[in-house]
Amino acid sequence: MANNNDEKESSQDEKEFIDQDDNDINNNGNGNNNSNNNYNSGKGSKKLVIETGSSIDHLDDGFSWRKYGQKAVKGSIFPKSYFKCAEPSCPVKKQVIQQDLKFINTYSGKHNHDPPELDGSERKKKSNNNNNNNILSSPKKQNNFNGQQPQQQQQQQSPNHQNISIPPQPQSQQKYQSHINLKEQLKEQLKEQLKEAGKLHSEIENNLNDDHN
């Protein structure tokens, strides 16, 4: 009965592939995942999950995203945001949700267009790539970050708060109150992670597709 979504405890800190699509026709949002999902069966990969173990929310991974939805999910206090690649016919989607102190980015699909700046050598090609990094909290509404908030993360129950705030800083963060510099560093660092993961994801998908088609 209790929402056993916090079983995941998220001890892993980098990125991982999950599949879960070999089992269900759609595996949409069924309720309480009582059948603790046998993700790690290690089969055909469908989604790429990246955990951002830092105070960075939605990262600009070289692509431009458009937010098309936001929902409150069962196990978490924080809402989940849904993004779609801004390229007109690209089917890639992406979900971002905060879990404890980090953000879980879930990619799906393969970009059917040349990445705007996936390679570090050629960037700033696409000018429509909006570089505002925290898309989750709209720039006019990130009032959750009023001054400095305590580093609570899971206790309070506010199921209907609208925008993902700048997440609580990591446990040893009291000295980073003036931040902004550290945040930029982490942003750059995570950006590289996301780029690598995106490339890896595309490669694996290509292999799978070539195998079958």
Partner DNA sequence: CAACAAACCGGTTGGGTA
Partner DNA sequence: TACCCAACCGGTTTGTTG
Q: Which tokens in the block code for residue 143?
A: 């009032």
Minimum distance from residue 98 beta carbon to a copy of itself (Å):
17
The answer to the question of residue 199 lying near a copy of itself (CB under 8 A) is no
Q: How far is CA 22 from CA 19, 92, 110, in A?
A: 7, 20, 18
What the block records as the tokens of 18 is: 């999950």
The residue among 129 and 189 lying less far from DNA, judged by its C-beta, is: 129
Percent helix, percent strand, percent coil in the chain, to nearest 5: 20, 20, 60
If one asks whether residue 120 binds DNA (CB under 7 A), the answer comes out as no
Q: Is 213 in the site for DNA (CB under 7 A)?
A: no
Selected from 72, 114, 192, 203, the binder of DNA by CB under 7 A is 72
* Residue 108 binds to a copy of itself (criterion: CB under 8 A): yes
Question: Dihedrals φ, ψ of 166, to 5°?
Answer: -55, 125
Tell whether the torsion through CA atoms of 166, 170, 171 and 172 is positive or negative: negative
What residue 151 binds from DNA, a copy of itself, none (CB within 5 to 8 A, per partner kind)? none
3-state secondary structure of 11: coil
Backbone angles phi, psi at 198, to 5 degrees: -60, -40
Residue 21 is classified by DSSP as: T
Question: Is 26 one of the binding residues for DNA (CB under 7 A)?
Answer: yes
User: Is residue 112 a contact residue for DNA (CB under 7 A)?
Assistant: no
How many residues lie near DNA (CB under 7 A)? 34
Given the rule CB under 7 A, which residues bind DNA? 24-32, 34-35, 66-75, 80, 82, 86, 93, 95, 128, 130, 135, 137-138, 141, 162-163
